Amino acid sequence: MGKVKIGTLCIQAGYKPKKGEPRQLPIIQSTTFKYDTSDQMGRLFDLEEDGYFYTRLQNPTNDCVAAKIAALEGGEAAILTSSGQAANFFACFNICEAGDHLISTASIYGGTFNLFGTTFRKMGIDVTFIDQEASDQEIEAAFRPNTKLVFGEVLSNPGVRVLDIERFAKIAHSHRVPLIVDNTFPTPVNCRPFEWGADIVTHSTTKYMDGHGVHIGGAIVDSGNFDWEANAGKFPGLCTPDESYHGLTYTKRFGKKAYITKVTSQLMRDLGSAQSPQNAFYLNLGLETLQIRVRRHNESARRIAEFLNGNADIKWVRFPELENDPEHERQLKYLPDGSCGVMSFALNGDRAFANRFMDSLRLVTIETHVADSHSCILHPASHTHRQMSDSQLREAGVDPDLMRLSIGLEDPEDIIDDITNAIAAARR
Ligand SMILES: *Cc1c(COP(=O)(O)O)cnc(C)c1O
């Protein structure tokens, strides 16, 4: 598709029906695919020919949706995974194995923090967490000869901090490794990290891409820009023969598609975590309206952040689009049209006041989820981290006052009324 805008890609990229085929993306709910000769099937297993044979590896519905996400990000190739967790796992494990090391920013989604800090370490992959505001020199000092990648979130969950993508890409590339970023919160509507030098993008499609809270899914997108061959010694999995495919070398056979092909043919083959075609269909419906929904999330969140910012009952608000936010300049650079619908704030009051406030909300619901059509709120000190004292929370980097608010697609004036009424009720 030529140079069309992202709103058009949301509708038109991916599935391209031919004469007489269904206009809407069909759900190919089949585990296997039929061939006429043994030789045809054999060539698929040797990766000599493109084609479908088993849905754990590839499925036509999933491939169309992955192609749409690749187009939205401006990438070379993409693959869907069963969850955002699986996407981040495979994105890193594809180039990082026992004995290797990776560098990640510390302010990332809790699930990813545990994946790296606990499970990867059990698998023999060492991790150094760094503060994303650390100086270049401090970050440089974290590199080791066996470092294989740098990881960060474009907008961190839940802190909504903005990653300086260009700076991180420069540092990663000077050490001859790729930068992998999780672009779940901005979505490609608000930020396209490849334009700033990131090499691989991951998504939890569970959030805005689905947008209606109906499926768990993930995606990995490769820009095709990182030159694995120029750093062949660091990436033997891509640049030396794979004995489990008769000595095929991914970079030589697949060029710019080497990285995603290896995810498909090795990691999906051996570890599973494929997305179901039914879920890919839901995801595609969400993607069709992604641009108009994200614009609405942007506008409503901006309106509500400004309301909170000027309210005497609110101690502080963190939302990068506020002019007084420490990351406002970076937001203007990387996310000029808007950041996302998520913000954090604190009330002027104690935990009991916070609880009375949340219990008094009528529209905004208490949920651990974020980033879909329903507005919701979470108070880590009362929910996810409730076993901790205030001082333990501070040690863990969680402000005991912090509330995470995710603005949905309701009328923003009604959400403002809901918050105003709940504060008044909590004061009584
Ligand atoms: C939710 C989330 C994940 C994990 O995704 P799941 O689909 O829940 O597995 C990863 N990264 C970010 C930024 C998220 O918000």
111 lines ligand 1 (CB under 6 A): yes
Q: How far is the CA of 310 from the centre of ligand 1 (A)?
A: 31
Amino acid 114: pLDDT: 93
Q: How far is the CA of 45 from the centre of ligand 1 (A)?
A: 32
Q: Provide CATH code, domain 8-286.
A: 3.40.640.10
Residue 50 has pLDDT above 90, yes or no: no
Amino acid 81: pLDDT: 98
Q: Which of 183, 187, 206, 404 to mutate to test the pocket of ligand 1 (most atoms within 8 A of CB)?
A: 206
**CB-CB contact of 265 with 57 (8 Å):** yes
293 lines ligand 1 (CB under 6 A): no
Q: Which of 83, 207, 275, 370 to mutate to test the pocket of ligand 1 (most atoms within 8 A of CB)?
A: 207
**CB-CB contact of 345 with 308 (8 Å):** yes
The string of DSSP letters for 304-362 reads HHHHHHT-TTEEEEE-TTSTTSTTHHHHHHH-TT---SEEEEEESS-HHHHHHHHHH-S
How far apart, in whole angstroms, are the C-alpha atoms of residue 64 and residue 280? 9
Amino acid 2: pLDDT: 60
Residue 382 has pLDDT above 90, yes or no: no
* pLDDT, tens digit (0-9, with 9 covering 90-100), for 208-233: 999 999 999 999 999 999 999 999 99
**% of the chain beyond a pLDDT of 70:** 99
Of ligand 1's atoms, which has the minimum distance to the CA of residue 157?
13
Q: Residue ranges of the domains in the chain?
A: 8-286, 291-427
Residue 143 has pLDDT above 80, yes or no: yes
Residue 47 has pLDDT above 60, yes or no: yes
Q: In what order do the strands lie in the sheet with 314-318?
A: 314-318, 342-347, 403-406, 376-378, 365-366
Of ligand 1's atoms, which has the minimum distance to the CA of residue 371?
15
Q: Phi first, then psi: what are they for 423, rounded to 5°?
A: -65, -45
Residue 132 has pLDDT above 80, yes or no: yes
How far apart, in whole angstroms, are the C-alpha atoms of residue 318 and residue 323? 11
Residue 396: CB atoms within 10 Å: 10
> Model-level pTM?
0.96
Residue 1 has pLDDT above 70, yes or no: no
Q: Which of 109, 132, 151 to mutate to test the pocket of ligand 1 (most atoms within 8 A of CB)?
A: 109
Residue 89 is inside which H or E element, if any? helix 84-93
> Same fold for the domain at 8-286 and the one at 291-427?
no
Amino acid 42: pLDDT: 87
Integer Rg of the chain from CA: 22
216 lines ligand 1 (CB under 6 A): yes
83 lines ligand 1 (CB under 6 A): yes
User: One-letter amino acid identity for 270?
Assistant: D
Residue 427 is inside which H or E element, if any? helix 412-427
Amino acid 41: pLDDT: 86
158 lines ligand 1 (CB under 6 A): no
Give, to the nearest 10 degrees, the angle between helix 412-427 and helix 290-309: 40
Please say whether the structural domain 291-427 has been given the CATH code 3.90.1150.10.
yes
Q: How far is the CA of 84 from the centre of ligand 1 (A)?
A: 5
* pLDDT, tens digit (0-9, with 9 covering 90-100), for 73-101: 999 999 999 999 999 999 999 999 999 99
Retrieve residue 245's tokens: 């495919």
End-to-end CA distance of the chain: 59
14 lines ligand 1 (CB under 6 A): no
Q: Which of 113, 119, 151, 157 to mutate to test the pocket of ligand 1 (most atoms within 8 A of CB)?
A: 157
Q: How far is the CA of 109 from the centre of ligand 1 (A)?
A: 7
Q: How far is the CA of 83 from the centre of ligand 1 (A)?
A: 7
How far apart, in whole angstroms, are the C-alpha atoms of residue 394 and residue 289? 39
Of ligand 1's atoms, which has the minimum distance to the CA of residue 86?
9
Q: How far is the CA of 352 from the centre of ligand 1 (A)?
A: 30
Q: How far is the CA of 239 from the centre of ligand 1 (A)?
A: 30
